[in-house]
């Protein structure tokens, strides 16, 4: 802290940051501590009786095939949303960065998916795939001569469709950032490469992609948080974790156990596990990303 | 700093002012009421509350929509420790045992005594009050009750060359009709259901088969489920077979499949009677209704009810309790119960309302509304199996059943293994509940 900026007021800086510290303690650290504490207990919904059970909630969790399924589903889902989602977004952003007629229209058309609320997006996708009335099962049935595409009884299909919807929903956000990143790549570099005889493909991988890396690393992080935490609304509207727990991602399972089944101890244990998993993934990602990211200027 | 201090003082003063204005204006006793009624039901409920407030100047019922049934219960649980909950809360039937064990409510049957009144509970429709009674005493006020029945599309029946006045009455007929429908090519799939967990409970109850021990959890906390026997396996087998033949199409856990029936994609539909008004309004064909199909050669039980009831929070002032009681009595009044029934399709809870509806020809005008009544009034009423299931962790257990059914239909497990796996998970939940709530 630079003393000269607050001459004679030694404690003023502390006082000024106090409100945010207080907010963090009240809304983040306090509840977090409490949920760790509660993960060692089971209690009645109304809290009339609480029993200490030690590590039983954790043992239950790891010995439950449903939970392990949920972990696998979450990682599959996240991998799809992050890898496929970012690749498609980058490709689209690259196309939108060309000088073509009506590019403004295409930009808006591709970006506005982000402005749709998860509820609406969920309803759109769910009705598109509705087994008896949806457009896509209808087309599939006509083309294949009677095959019933029913994602309400096909777990892998349901997970795929939910991941597709989640990717589509995030597309606009990713495209905006990639587009901004692409527009910051100095044209001189690309022109110089062109003069030196580099193919557009090579120029992209050697110049554009490395120069985009700050954007890419930011988006990697945001998309990971999105895939792990923010897809809740979409799942709740589309599948509610079904069929047969196939789309019950970690954060959704936590919600159901804690807020619908009113089993707070079990849900608290899950929240600690998610915290742990996310921290590890985040640390690894930050390590790799900060090493590989190239910041120009 | 000074500015901030001043700001704080102003803030506190404003709050005080607001609060005092609030108390000064609150002349009629305010009764807060949390409910989960959305869509067309909300309008009917609001107009009933408006007319109550207009006719009872001493009280003011303020309704608050608190989300789905599950969300409403969660909010009620969360509000309880800080005493910020409502006077009355609407809870779905699966939450009944949770509320009984909550120690947070005053059983409805005690309220007249607390206010020095007597009340004749027999004026309500018995199969409905039975569901919410413990040892013959009513714990919550029945409000929106429904049961499951068979809807069918008469136009499609004719197209497929079937008699539109002969809906299937057994599961065997469901299969035969289904095959005829598929052969005729009128539809790609023949039937679907809403609420598969509840439809399964119905299948047990109408054959007088228990769901869980200790009389379905009605004579004491249940220790284990008992449906995973030959009969239960046969239900799962039948449904899976019909699904594999393409007759049954799984339609989600609540009301997702309503649109498939309304748009004529399927010919038959097993769903809550509370969807009746909506289905009749939205569909362009003639809607037929009939009883839930039976399995031949098994005992007769009764269709059970579902829906919600109203619970009264414990520890209210006598003034508030009087208001609550006036409101509950008002809802049971003949005209109000009729208004509720006609607007929504839920049962009118009082016997007098039922008689008036009969007298004015409501049922002969539209027989579809009669099916639900005949069904719950025609079966057995004296066994636990036909009264309904009451389990502590029922919400979570129902999900286990649905995912079991989904696994059987998807072919991940055989119907038998899927049902057994679900039963095992449910038994663990019952054991945990017993550990917490056992005396």
Instruction: Please check whether residues B380 and B239 belong to one and the same domain.
Output: yes
B393: in domain: yes
Q: ipTM of the predicted structure? A: 0.77
Q: Rounded CA gap, A151 and A157, in Å?
A: 6
Instruction: Please check whether residues B376 and B314 belong to one and the same domain.
Output: no
Instruction: Please check whether residues B286 and B379 belong to one and the same domain.
Output: yes
Q: DSSP letter at B37?
A: -
**Residue-level pLDDT at A104:** 84
CA angle in degrees (0–180, nearest 5) for B74-B79-B81: 115
Chain B residue with minimal CA distance to A146?
B188
Residue (of B118, B242, B235) closest to B190 by Cα position: B242
Query: Cβ of A133 and B260 within 8 Å?
Result: yes
**Residue-level pLDDT at B49:** 96
* Residue percentage of chain B with pLDDT more than 70: 94
Domain holding B17, by residue range, is 2-146+306-360
pLDDT at B215 over 90: yes
CA distance A148 to chain B (A): 9
A260 inside 8 A of chain B by CB: yes
Give the residue-averaged pLDDT of B30-35.
Answer: 95
A64 inside 8 A of chain B by CB: no
B101 inside 8 A of chain A by CB: yes
**Residue-level pLDDT at B246:** 92
Report the domain count for chain B.
2
pLDDT bucket at B76, cuts 50 / 70 / 90: very high
pLDDT at A210 over 80: yes
Picking from B360, B395, B429, the residue at the C-terminal end of a domain is: B360
pLDDT at B267 over 50: yes
**Residue-level pLDDT at A4:** 65
Instruction: Please check whether residues B297 and B312 belong to one and the same domain.
Output: no
Q: Rounded CA gap, B196 and B229, in Å?
A: 19
pLDDT at B16 over 60: no
* Residue percentage of chain B with pLDDT more than 90: 65
Q: What is the mean pLDDT of chain A?
A: 88
pLDDT at B190 over 90: yes
pLDDT bucket at A219, cuts 50 / 70 / 90: very high
Higher pLDDT, B364 or B48: B48
Q: Rounded CA gap, B357 and B210, in Å?
A: 34
Q: Where are the domains of chain A?
A: 56-292
Q: Rounded CA gap, B270 and B274, in Å?
A: 12
Instruction: Please check whether residues B162 and B297 belong to one and the same domain.
Output: yes
| pLDDT tens sequence across A140-180 | 988 887 787 888 878 889 999 999 999 999 999 999 999 99
B133: in domain: yes
| Set of chain B residues whose Cβ sits within 8 Å of the Cβ of A152 | 250-252, 256, 406
A207 inside 8 A of chain B by CB: no
Chain B residue with minimal CA distance to A258?
B74
Give the residue-averaged pLDDT of B174-185.
Answer: 95
B80 inside 8 A of chain A by CB: yes
CA distance B273 to chain A (A): 21
B331: in domain: yes
Q: Which of residues 123-182 of B touch A (CB under 8 A)?
A: none
**Residue-level pLDDT at A185:** 86
Give the residue-averaged pLDDT of A179-203.
Answer: 87
- Enter the pTM of the model: 0.83
| pLDDT tens sequence across A99-118 | 888 888 888 888 888 888 88
A70 inside 8 A of chain B by CB: no
CATH code, B197: 3.40.190.10
Query: Cβ of B436 and A49 within 8 Å?
Result: yes
| pLDDT tens sequence across B138-161 | 999 999 999 999 999 999 999 999
What does CATH list as the number for A56-292? 1.10.3720.10
pLDDT at B37 over 60: yes
B365: in domain: no
pLDDT at B419 over 80: yes
Picking from B360, B378, B404, the residue at the C-terminal end of a domain is: B360
**Residue-level pLDDT at B370:** 85
pLDDT at A244 over 80: no
Contact B368, B349 (CB under 8 A): no
pLDDT bucket at A13, cuts 50 / 70 / 90: confident
| Set of chain A residues whose Cβ sits within 8 Å of the Cβ of B265 | 132-133
**Residue-level pLDDT at B236:** 97
CA distance B399 to chain A (A): 9
**Residue-level pLDDT at A293:** 67
Query: Cβ of A261 and B395 within 8 Å?
Result: yes
* Residue percentage of chain A with pLDDT more than 70: 97
Instruction: Please check whether residues B218 and B287 belong to one and the same domain.
Output: yes
Query: Cβ of A153 and B436 within 8 Å?
Result: no
**In Å, how far are A208, B268, B402 from A60, measured between CA atoms?**
49, 42, 21
The tokens of B338 are what?
Answer: 């009729």
Instruction: Give chain B's radius of gyration (CA, Å).
Output: 24
Picking from B360, B381, B402, the residue at the C-terminal end of a domain is: B360
**Residue-level pLDDT at A7:** 77
Give the residue-averaged pLDDT of B262-269.
Answer: 93
| pLDDT tens sequence across B356-415 | 998 988 888 777 888 888 888 888 878 889 889 999 999 889 989 998 999 999 888 999
Q: Rounded CA gap, A239 and A248, in Å?
A: 9
Alpha-carbon torsion B66, B67, B68, B72, what sign? negative
Give the residue-averaged pLDDT of B6-11.
Answer: 60
Give the residue-averaged pLDDT of B241-251.
Answer: 93
pLDDT at B20 over 70: no
pLDDT at A97 over 90: no
**Residue-level pLDDT at B38:** 84
Q: Rounded CA gap, A86 and B349, in Å?
A: 57
pLDDT at B200 over 80: yes
B208: in domain: yes
Query: Cβ of A243 and B256 within 8 Å?
Result: no
Q: DSSP letter at A256?
A: I
Q: Rounded CA gap, A102 and A285, in Å?
A: 38
Instruction: Please check whether residues B250 and B395 belong to one and the same domain.
Output: yes
**Residue-level pLDDT at B1:** 46
Query: Cβ of B437 and A154 within 8 Å?
Result: no
Give the residue-averaged pLDDT of A30-40.
Answer: 93
CA angle in degrees (0–180, nearest 5) for B393-A156-A262: 20
Query: Cβ of B253 and A242 within 8 Å?
Result: yes
Option in A47, A153, A262 nearest B81 (CB): A47
Query: Cβ of A132 and B104 within 8 Å?
Result: no
Contact A270, A61 (CB under 8 A): yes
Query: Cβ of A244 and B403 within 8 Å?
Result: yes
| Alpha helices for B294-393 (secondary structure H) | 318-332, 334-344, 351-359, 362-365, 368-378
Instruction: Please check whether residues B185 and B297 belong to one and the same domain.
Output: yes
B41: in domain: yes
| Set of chain B residues whose Cβ sits within 8 Å of the Cβ of A154 | 410
| pLDDT tens sequence across B304-350 | 888 899 999 999 999 999 999 999 999 999 999 999 988 888 888 88
Query: Cβ of B396 and A155 within 8 Å?
Result: no
B131: in domain: yes
Option in A152, A244, A260 nearest B412 (CB): A244
pLDDT at A263 over 80: yes
A233 inside 8 A of chain B by CB: no
pLDDT at B19 over 70: no
Instruction: Please check whether residues B63 and B166 belong to one and the same domain.
Output: no
The tokens of B203 are what?
Answer: 């299948």
Instruction: Please check whether residues B140 and B251 belong to one and the same domain.
Output: no
Query: Cβ of B77 and A262 within 8 Å?
Result: yes
Query: Cβ of B395 and A154 within 8 Å?
Result: no
B214: in domain: yes
**Residue-level pLDDT at A214:** 86
B407 inside 8 A of chain A by CB: yes
A133 inside 8 A of chain B by CB: yes
**Residue-level pLDDT at B255:** 83
Higher pLDDT, B76 or B278: B76
Option in A48, A51, A244 nearest B103 (CB): A48
B379: three-class secondary structure by DSSP: coil
Give the residue-averaged pLDDT of A42-47.
Answer: 87
Instruction: Please check whether residues B381 and B355 belong to one and the same domain.
Output: no
B252 inside 8 A of chain A by CB: yes
Query: Cβ of B403 and A245 within 8 Å?
Result: yes
């Amino acid at each position: 802290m630079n003393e000269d900026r607050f001459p004679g007021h030694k404690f003023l800086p502390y006082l000024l940051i106090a409100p945010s510290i207080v907010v963090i303690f009240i809304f983040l650290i306090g509840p977090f501590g409490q949920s760790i504490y509660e993960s060692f207990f089971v209690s009645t919904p109304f809290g009339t009786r609480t029993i200490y059970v030690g590590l039983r909630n954790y043992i239950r969790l790891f010995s439950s095939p449903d939970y392990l399924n949920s972990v696998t589903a979450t990682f599959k889902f996240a991998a799809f949303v992050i890898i496929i989602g970012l690749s498609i977004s980058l490709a689209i952003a690259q196309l939108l960065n060309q000088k073509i007629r009506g590019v403004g229209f295409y930009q808006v058309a591709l970006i506005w998916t982000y402005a749709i609320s998860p509820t609406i997006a969920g309803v759109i996708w769910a009705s598109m795939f509705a087994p008896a009335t949806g457009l896509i099962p209808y087309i599939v049935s006509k083309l294949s001569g009677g095959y019933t595409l029913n994602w309400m009884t096909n777990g892998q299909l349901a997970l795929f469709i939910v991941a597709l919807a989640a990717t589509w929903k995030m597309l606009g956000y990713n495209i905006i950032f990639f587009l901004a990143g692409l527009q910051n790549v100095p044209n001189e570099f690309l022109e110089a490469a062109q003069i030196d005889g580099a193919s557009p493909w090579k120029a992209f991988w050697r110049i554009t992609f490395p120069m985009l890396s700050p954007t890419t690393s930011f988006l990697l992080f945001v998309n990971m948080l999105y895939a792990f935490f923010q897809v809740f609304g979409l799942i709740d509207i589309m599948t509610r974790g079904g069929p047969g727990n196939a789309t019950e991602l970690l954060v959704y399972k936590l919600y159901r156990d804690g807020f619908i089944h009113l089993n707070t101890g079990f849900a608290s244990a899950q929240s600690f596990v998610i915290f742990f998993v996310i921290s590890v993934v985040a640390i690894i990602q930050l390590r790799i990303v900060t090493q590989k990211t190239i910041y120009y200027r | 700093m000074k500015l901030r201090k001043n700001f704080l003082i102003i803030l506190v003063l404003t709050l005080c002012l607001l609060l005092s204005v609030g108390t000064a204006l609150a002349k009629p006793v305010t009764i807060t009421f949390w409910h989960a009624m959305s869509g067309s039901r909300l309008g009917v409920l609001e107009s009933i509350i408006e007319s109550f407030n207009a006719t009872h100047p001493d009280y003011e019922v303020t309704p608050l929509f608190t989300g789905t049934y599950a969300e409403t219960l969660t909010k009620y649980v969360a509000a309880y420790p800080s005493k910020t909950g409502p006077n009355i809360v609407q809870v779905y039937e699966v939450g009944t045992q949770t509320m009984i064990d909550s120690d947070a409510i005053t059983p409805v049957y005690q309220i007249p005594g607390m206010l020095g009144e007597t009340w004749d509970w027999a004026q309500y429709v018995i199969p409905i009050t039975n569901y919410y009674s413990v040892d013959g005493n009513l714990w919550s006020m029945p409000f929106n009750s429904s049961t499951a029945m068979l809807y069918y599309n008469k136009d499609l029946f004719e197209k497929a060359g079937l008699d539109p006045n002969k809906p299937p009455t057994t599961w065997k007929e469901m299969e035969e009709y289904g095959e005829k429908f598929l052969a005729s090519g009128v539809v790609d799939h023949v039937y679907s259901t809403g609420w598969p967990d509840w439809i399964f409970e119905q299948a047990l109850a109408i054959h007088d088969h228990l769901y869980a021990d200790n009389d379905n959890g009605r004579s004491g906390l249940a220790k284990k489920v008992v449906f995973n026997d030959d009969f239960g396996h046969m239900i799962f087998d039948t449904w899976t077979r019909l699904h594999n033949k393409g007759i049954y199409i799984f339609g989600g856990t609540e009301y997702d499949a309503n649109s498939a029936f309304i748009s004529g994609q399927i010919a038959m539909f097993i769903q809550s009677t509370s969807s009746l008004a909506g289905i009749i309004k939205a569909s362009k064909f003639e809607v037929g209704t009939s009883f839930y199909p039976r399995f031949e050669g098994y005992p007769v039980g009764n269709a059970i009810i579902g829906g919600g009831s109203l619970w009264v929070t414990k520890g209210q002032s006598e003034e508030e309790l009087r208001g609550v009681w006036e409101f509950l009595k008002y809802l049971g009044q003949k005209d109000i119960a009729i208004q509720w029934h006609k607007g929504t399709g839920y049962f009118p809870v009082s016997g007098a309302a039922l008689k008036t509806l009969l007298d004015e020809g409501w049922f002969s005008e539209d027989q579809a509304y009669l099916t639900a009544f005949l069904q719950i009034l025609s079966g057995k009423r004296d066994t636990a199996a036909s009264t309904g299931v009451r389990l502590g962790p029922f919400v979570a257990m129902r999900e286990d059943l649905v995912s079991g059914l989904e696994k059987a239909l998807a072919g991940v497990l055989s119907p038998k293994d899927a049902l057994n796996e679900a039963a095992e998970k449910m038994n663990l939940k019952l054991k945990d509940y017993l550990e917490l709530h056992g005396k």
